[in-house]
Homo-oligomer: A and B are copies of this chain.
Amino acid sequence: MSKLDFSIIKTKWNSRAWVITLNWVKLNTPVFMPVWTKATIKWIILDLLKNKDFLWTENPINLILANTFHLYLRPWDEIVKNAGWLNKFENRDKLILTDSWGFQVFSLWEGNKTKSLVKLQQDWVWFQSPIDGSKHFFSPEKVVDIQLNLGSDIMMVLDVCSSIENISKEKVAQQMQTTHSWAKKAFDYFGEKYDSTKSVLFPIVQWWIHKDLREESVSFLKQYAIDWIAIWWLSVWETNEEMYDILDFLSDKLPANKPRYLMWVGTIKDIREAVMHGIDMFDCVLPTRLGRHGTAFYKDWYVKLKNSQYKNDFSPLTDDCPCFVCKNYTKSYLSHLVRENEMLGWMLLSYHNIVYLHNYVEKLRKEILES
């Protein structure tokens, strides 16, 4: 039985508007999740996201994403558990999704061509900490336990993220089998705990632009889409067209009555396309990454505050955003802060970008509801 209480309010072509309840928190979808890697969204005082003077919409941000790998290494999931779970650790309520560890394995692999920091085995993966060289291993079961220690509402299974370079398709297919066996282990292990926790666990459909592997993966993993299903290994190196093509391909293969989470998608254009292809949830570091490079979302494009034209531009950052930053500051002031490498500039732009994406997704939802 699903822990998510959800109903599809309205569909428009393939797009869907849901109301989901998990742990007494209501989520409207489509929904965008800000990323909160190390128990903080970069540059942002989380209370601003719920404070009425800084709030910009009727629907606050109820779901953010934290990173299991980083929080396991530092501060250590046991400390977070002792603090009373992540929400209490960092003074927040509402929902938390923790991603699994798959991509970090891949990063250590890719980043260290000469010295292997990672050993992948059938039942577990061994790795050296990039911080202090200490040795650790993760299994599908252990990653569930870590996420339970963090007090995650929505957990992700451990998966293998194949390299896309210098790897045969046979090898990729083999890694898919490992991922599937890990998913089985994770769900078998979590199944025993399911009723005694507040958490849900998502399987992850991967395998890049290989349609046959995608299909096989959906076919195997949909048995585990008890609450939700996630899609990944898109929006990494493939072209936009390849991504939309895969989303189109998957559209009628994914369970229709389960929410769908497309990982790592965060541009206005990609979100719009993905919603049109039936995706319900997104996450991306783009709002804060752009913010700390002095760039703001505006319609389909970007305002680069370092451009000299903004030095004397006393108009608001955008003309279509009701956020605290657009209401109170001029491009001239923001440009000055960014040029001076003043953190306040990066903070304000990150804040605007998060609000902007949040509101954009809300707007898409309204379009579905009003269609």
Contact = CB atoms under 8 A, between A and B. Distances in A.
Interface stretch (A57-65, A173-181, A279-287, A338-346): A338-346
A79 interface: yes
Copies in the complex: 2
A114 interface: no
Contact of A53 (B38, B53, B90, B339): B53
A339 B90 CA distance: 15
Which of A54, A84, A329 has the most chain B CB atoms closer than 10 A to its own CB?
A54
Contact of A332 (B40, B75, B311): B75
Interface in A284-335: 311-312, 314, 324, 328-330, 332-333, 335
Nearest to A345: B40
Contacts of A44: 344
Interface in A5-53: 38-45, 47-48, 51, 53
A262 interface: no
A332 B47 contact: no
Contacts of A328: 47, 91
A163 interface: no
Contacts of A84: 314
Contact of A79 (B91, B332, B344): B332
A211 interface: no
Interface magnitude class on chain A: 35 or more
A230 interface: no
A314 B82 contact: yes
Given A82-B314, A314-B82, A342-B38, A332 B89 contact: yes
A336 interface: yes
A118 interface: no
A347 B39 CA distance: 15
Contacts of A53: 47, 51, 53
A84 B39 CA distance: 39
A74 B340 contact: yes
Given A75-B311, A311-B79, A312-B79, A43 B343 contact: yes
A347 B45 contact: yes
A213 B89 CA distance: 56
Given A40-B342, A74-B339, A311-B79, A333 B45 contact: no
Interface string A339-361: 11011111110000000000000
A83 interface: yes
A75 B336 contact: yes
Nearest to A75: B336
A337 interface: yes
A43 B89 contact: no
Contacts of A48: 45
Contact of A314 (B39, B83, B347): B83
A312 B83 CA distance: 8
Contacts of A347: 43, 45, 343, 347
Contacts of A312: 79, 82
A38 to B, nearest CB: 5
22 contacts: A39-B336, A39-B337, A40-B345, A42-B342, A42-B344, A43-B343, A47-B328, A74-B336, A75-B336, A79-B311, A79-B336, A82-B314, A83-B314, A83-B330, A83-B333, A89-B333, A89-B336, A90-B329, A90-B333, A91-B328, A91-B333, A347-B347
